[in-house]
Amino acid sequence: MPAMASPQVVAHRGASAERAEHTLGAYQVALDQGADALECDVRVTRDGHLVCVHDRRVDRTSSGRGVVSELTLPAMSRFDFAHWHHELPESADELVFEPRASAAVGAAQRRILTFDDLLGLVRAQRRRIRLFAETKHPVRYAGLVEAKLTAALARHGVSAPAHKDESPVVMMSFSSAAVRRFRADAPGVPTVLLFDRASRAVRAGELPRWADLAGPSIRLLRRDPELAGRWAARGRDTYCWTVDDPADVELCRRAGVRFVATNRPGATRLRLSGGCPGTSVAVAAR
């Protein structure tokens, strides 16, 4: 994956500063704001479905309660996954940077989102969109989420891209073992090893052979802005999370980060393009 002059914008759990995270509404707003890619977390339900939920439990992000791995998809489909989220940003100033792409939040945009549905949304776009899928650990059944992810990619015909840079999906995890398992099953799909702490070897630019990209937190990059350059020298690009502050966006640009994960894709895209308050965000063709 060759380095790029300006980072690509990855919508972290969708446009999650404006819509409830991991809902269809959040992802649709991100697409309308011109995000280059989407990011999601995936977990396995009791009946074997991949769903887009960050936490082990659904309590924080839905009207229901319980552990994802102990709930069936039909049971989770009865929960409202958008009721908890404010409908307007905290400051009116944010509306300048993040114009609201859709006013209504219908029932379909409030339900549990399956990975199949999100990947289908990505594949239906007329422009090229990538999906960064993070498998969550620790989980009850180690390795099952990676196996389910591989199977889902196969069903959609994207488990064996001709070249990694052409893959519409990128797999990520904080678990090195999870990344390694996935690489064994889907060697053509690019991978990201995420971390908030880095060993001396990783800080020097070394990554496991089964990880294609380095995935540091913005906190790590603030401490050592030369990290991305050292990885680039070894042929590895950088995916940095979670980048919302304007100073951090500029830091990623200067550091040579290829992908920035942000809760505010509209504002981040605008700042990377040199925009200012009062400049509209171009909506990509759909």
Percentage helix, strand, coil, to 5, in the chain?
30, 15, 50
Residue with tokens 């049971």: 75
Phi, psi of 84 (to 5 degrees): -80, -20
The candidate with the shortest Cα–Cα distance to 12, out of 249, 208, 274, is 249
Q: Which two tokens stand for residue 230?
A: 């050292």
Q: Are 176 and 170 in contact (CB under 8 A)?
A: no
Axis-axis angle for helices 24-32, 115-123 (nearest 10): 20
Q: Which two tokens stand for residue 67?
A: 């552990």
Phi, psi of 7 (to 5 degrees): -65, 150
Q: List the Cα angle 8/12/16 in 5-degree steps.
A: 125
Calculate the alpha carbon distances from 190 to 8, 135, 174, 223 in Å: 16, 14, 15, 27
Please identify every residue annotated as catalytic: 12, 54
Q: List the Cα angle 111/115/116 in 5-degree steps.
A: 100
How many residues are there in the chain?
286
Distance CA 206, CA 112 (A): 38
Q: Which two tokens stand for residue 146?
A: 């990676």
